């Protein structure tokens, strides 16, 4: 529908002033926050993801689009929680212990939010105990871990082993990503999935949480 297309377009163009205005207007017209998310924001971020995969967009464009999405999300977030409507699910993300890189992780978090998930971002340099603690506290079924260094990617196995050793977190699915990683490495450490880029992470999350 046209009213949602304008919102999707403002996300794709990265116009955060327009995306906020349109979201406010739609709320004023009595459109539900869920509809705004599902019919406007998610399709917009979906296009951004596809353009990113096709090398038509690069990281700066994705960050600008994500900023526009956040501007609209700020308007609808209170309404989402008021209506008791949950998003598609909660996902915890974090960079493993010893690694301070967060651009890739932040991109993944933004794309997942645009894909309709609630993101709990633990930040960087996260020890395995912290992942376990937060999974128990938030009752999540999926976590995403990133590493940019070959020296820190071994920390991912440690987190997975720690999760599997605890009955409460043993069935938590883990997806991993980061420059030095491969599908083979993800398989070897027992991860549920590997995403080569931020856009693929959304597809992977959808698959793992079905």
pLDDT in tens, the chain (210 residues): 677 999 999 999 999 999 999 999 999 999 988 889 889 998 999 899 889 889 999 888 988 998 999 899 999 888 876 765 667 889 999 999 999 988 889 889 988 988 889 999 999 999 999 999 999 999 999 999 999 899 999 999 999 999 999 999 999 999 999 989 999 999 999 999 999 988 889 899 999 998
Taking the C-alpha atoms of residue 19 and residue 79, their distance in angstroms, rounded to an integer, is 17
Per-residue pLDDT tens over the stretch 70-115 = 899 999 888 876 765 667 889 999 999 999 988 889 889 988 988 8
Strand partners, 144: 93, 175
| H or E element in which residue 186 lies | helix 183-188
What distance lies between CA 18 and its chain's CA centroid? 23
Domain boundary among 43, 59, 82: 82
Question: Exposed (0-12), middle (13-18) or buried (19+): which is 86, by Cβ within 10 Å?
Answer: exposed
Q: Which domain holds residue 74?
A: 2-82
Phi, psi of 70 (to 5 degrees): -65, -35
Say whether both 48 and 109 belong to one domain.
no
Say whether both 200 and 105 belong to one domain.
yes
Domain boundary among 82, 110, 128: 82
What's the order of all strands across the beta sheet hosting 142-146? 118-121, 90-95, 142-146, 173-177, 193-194
């Amino acid at each position: 529908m046209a009213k949602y297309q304008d919102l999707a377009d403002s996300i794709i163009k990265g116009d955060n002033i327009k995306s906020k205005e349109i979201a406010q207007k739609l709320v004023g017209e009595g459109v539900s926050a869920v509809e705004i998310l599902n019919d406007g924001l998610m399709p917009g971020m979906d296009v951004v993801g596809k353009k990113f995969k096709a090398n038509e967009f690069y990281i700066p464009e994705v960050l600008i689009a994500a900023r526009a999405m956040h501007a609209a999300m700020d308007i609808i977030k209170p309404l989402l929680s008021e209506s008791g409507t949950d998003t598609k699910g909660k996902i915890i993300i974090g960079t493993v212990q010893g690694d301070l890189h967060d651009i890739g992780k932040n991109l993944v978090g933004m794309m997942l939010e645009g894909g309709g998930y609630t993101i709990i971002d633990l930040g960087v340099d996260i020890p395995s105990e912290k992942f376990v603690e937060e999974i128990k506290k938030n009752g999540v079924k999926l976590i995403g871990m990133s590493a940019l260094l070959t020296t820190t990617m071994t920390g991912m196995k440690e987190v997975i082993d720690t999760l599997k050793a605890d009955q409460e977190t043993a069935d938590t699915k883990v997806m991993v990503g980061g420059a030095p990683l491969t599908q083979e490495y993800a398989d070897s450490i027992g991860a549920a999935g590997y995403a080569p880029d931020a856009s693929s992470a959304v597809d992977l999350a959808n698959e793992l949480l079905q």
